[in-house]
Structure 1
Amino acid sequence: MDRKIGRMSQNITESAQLIDRPAMSMAAAGSRPAFLYVSIRDLLFRKISSGELPPGTVLKEAPVAGQLGVSRAPVRRALALLAEAGLIFEAGGQGFKVGQAEPVQLPLRQLHQILTGEPEEIDRSPSWERIFDEVREEITAAMPFGSWRIQEAALGDHFNVSRTVAREVLWRLMDRRLVDKDSKSHWIVGQMTARDLRETLEMRALMEPAALVQVLPGLDRAWLAGLETQVAALIRVFPQVDPQALDQIDQAMFQEMFAGLRNSRLLASIRRNQISLVVPHLFRHHFPLTDDLAALLDYARILHHLGRDEAEAAQVLMRSHLLRIGRLTLARLRVLSLLPPPRRVAWLIPAHQGGI
């Protein structure tokens, strides 16, 4: 028995490298896994490695899926990958068993206790949510450099999701005016133009200050104070600032700030007209941070008044900020358009290709 357990431990150690595949890259980087089957596979791997699922334990699709509250398909794939890694083996038509020991059927109650001891590890969010941010990032990074066509099937293949999931992502990006459809129903990413920026900044200057007054009563005062502290800290050390920290401040000021807006139509309109936020995000990752201090000072003043329930003063300052940044944003777009296009992903091709 000791030799069997020893061999099992060796298999687990040797299989750790096999488990760490590309689909795990997000988890390894500290993000949640992109796919449900990855979460399930990781959970089972940990339970096997720790001995909570001892050698011989029988693992079947239906019982595992039932205890985790998921469908059988991601469980099937997770088990197949664990089998490929040599951690589990076919159990004579009775699913899989852990290691090479004789099959042992665990009572459902015991299986439930083992698998649900850390339920937060299973990400049950819709598949489109897991890839949305990465798809959006790739698309927005390409926008200053021309028009692009998105190949729906290739997008699904790239992320190992169905075309239905890929299409859901694209429809949601279309709702934010980041993609569109041409006369042939191809998914198109249009080139970002100066006119786009001028018009959307005008819309933002009309909508966001008005929304600020509506949302202020529901804003968490501790959150506002924390954000004001973060901005003050960045001002003190500027320009020795991580570009990502500035991106996060922008997201807080113009996206998280309005998340609690009760007027859903106004919120949707705000989201659709925030394309101008793409430009400073891209610019910061190509050039030194020299022009962002003025924005941080604007944010500090806005937050100062919001924290004291001075809605009208904050409203005036936000409108002034949005009007002021127009010229800078347009200048940055002109500079970005002169850079070489970014590295392309396989599902994003120039619009003049592909028979358009």
Structure 2
Amino acid sequence: MNHQVEAIAPTNAHSAAEAGGSIQHRTYRLLREMIEDGRIAPGERLLEAQVAKSFCISRSPARIALAALCADGIIVESEGRGYLVAGAASGDRAGKPAVLDKLEITSAPQWQRMYAELERELCTRVLFGSVRITEEALAQHFDVSRTVARGVMARMHSVGQLSQDRNGHWVAEQVTRERIGHLFEIRRLLEPTALLHAAHHVPREFLEAVRARLVRSMEAGNRGGAEMDTAETDLHIDLLSHCPNKEIVLALSRTQVLFVPTRYLRDPYLEIPYQLISDALTEHLQIVDDILAGEPERAAQALQDHIREADTRWMLRFETIRRMKQPNFPAYLTALNAG
């Protein structure tokens, strides 16, 4: 019997990936619920291909969901293949494949369903080198029309994630230390000024809602990609959008590409240490508290310090990939140069 799992409505209007990215989150949540209520027993085996087939999703969100469950200690890597559910296994189920009901986790529009997977794939690839996307192969990979594939790439182009070369091919340029440094320099120069201007215009109700979300995430220990993406959007996009100097806001929009990897902190190529995520949320809270206390200058200095620390945290990804082998390329991507 085929069941339909309803889509989670996106709460972040700035991220087209929010709705699409929820596929991996829903997969994680569904598997966790099945484990916690006993439908999947301790010692049973979960495989990426099995999860993808049972839930009617591609292997990438299945892989990310399983990695997140492993990071949370709910499942453990098997010496053979896949993962084993943590806990004392009964004799007859140890190592046996888990039985998964047929579930369809597909209700978002086509472009949303593929946006997050493509975005996450590109976030990883551009750390190693530039890549070219073949539109026809992309459409075939996601089983969508070329019109849908072209629309997704156009959206990514509008936020600076893709460009077109002289032949009209879609290209994701390699992310280098130099480029990241330049983007953070723009932020250091402009964000504190934007905050000083915005502090006099941002509604107190908005600030209190931002603070409540931060405290809730910190107290619950929820420091994953979704929580960090919300925190980054609240402070660096929504709050600063109250700056009356729209030229500053426009200039800062070019730096928002820095926030994209934050959505995929469970990905082994994009993750940063848990403690650093906690530190970042604490820094956000200090900035918001300073504004609420009527101390915009102190908030601006705290923001300056936060951006400096964020620069250091971002650069850790370059150290991570130096120790890792690049995963196999999907058919729609072609390497243009070595990292």
**d(CA) in 2 for partners of 1:160, 1:260:** 41
Structure 1 residue 261 displacement after superposition:
5.0
**d(CA) in 2 for partners of 1:156, 1:260:** 39
Structure 2 counterpart of 1:111 = none
Write the mapping of 1:274-293 to structure 2, written as runs, cut at 5 A.
Answer: 274-283=256-265, 285-286=267-268, 288-293=273-278
The alignment's TM-score, normalised by the length of structure 2, stands at 0.58
Structure 1 counterpart of 2:252 = 270
Q: Return the match for 1:155 from 138, 150, 155.
A: 138
Gaps of 5+ in 1: 1-15, 35-121
Structure 1 residue 148 displacement after superposition:
1.3
**d(CA) in 1 for partners of 2:249, 2:115:** 19
**d(CA) in 2 for partners of 1:132, 1:150:** 14
SS of 2:302 mapped into structure 1 = helix
- Which is higher, the Rg of structure 1 or of structure 2? 1
Q: Return the match for 2:240 from 239, 245, 258.
A: 258
Structure 2 counterpart of 1:339 = 324
Q: Return the match for 2:174 from 171, 186, 191.
A: 191
Asked if the contact 1:148–1:348 (Cα under 8 Å) also holds between the matched residues in 2, the reply is yes
- Percent sequence identity over matched residues? 24
Asked if the contact 2:223–2:277 (Cα under 8 Å) also holds between the matched residues in 1, the reply is no
Write the mapping of 1:169-318 to structure 2, written as runs, cut at 5 A.
Answer: 169-236=152-219, 241-260=223-242, 263-283=245-265, 285-286=267-268, 288-318=273-303
Could you say if the C-alpha distance between residues 157 and 250 of structure 1 is closer, same or farther in structure 2, counting changes exceeding 3 Å?
Answer: same
**d(CA) in 2 for partners of 1:344, 1:28:** 31
Q: Deviations over 1:236-280 (max 9, x none)?
A: 465x74443233222322233334555554333222213333455
**d(CA) in 2 for partners of 1:271, 1:149:** 24
Aligned letter for 1:251?
T
**d(CA) in 1 for partners of 2:238, 2:321:** 27
Structure 1 residue 333 displacement after superposition:
2.4
Gaps of 5+ in 2: 11-15, 17-106
SS of 2:150 mapped into structure 1 = helix
SS of 1:255 mapped into structure 2 = helix
In terms of fraction of residues, the more helix-rich structure is 1
**d(CA) in 2 for partners of 1:303, 1:291:** 19
Asked if the contact 1:155–1:347 (Cα under 8 Å) also holds between the matched residues in 2, the reply is yes
Asked if the contact 2:120–2:261 (Cα under 8 Å) also holds between the matched residues in 1, the reply is no
**d(CA) in 1 for partners of 2:124, 2:284:** 25
Structure 1 residue 131 displacement after superposition:
5.2
Which structure carries more relative contact order (alpha carbon 8 Å, separation 6+)?
A: 2
Alignment size in residue pairs: 240
Aligned letter for 1:328?
R
Asked if the contact 2:225–2:262 (Cα under 8 Å) also holds between the matched residues in 1, the reply is no
1:30 aligns with 2:12: no
**d(CA) in 2 for partners of 1:147, 1:323:** 27
Structure 1 residue 352 displacement after superposition:
5.8
Asked if the contact 2:225–2:265 (Cα under 8 Å) also holds between the matched residues in 1, the reply is no
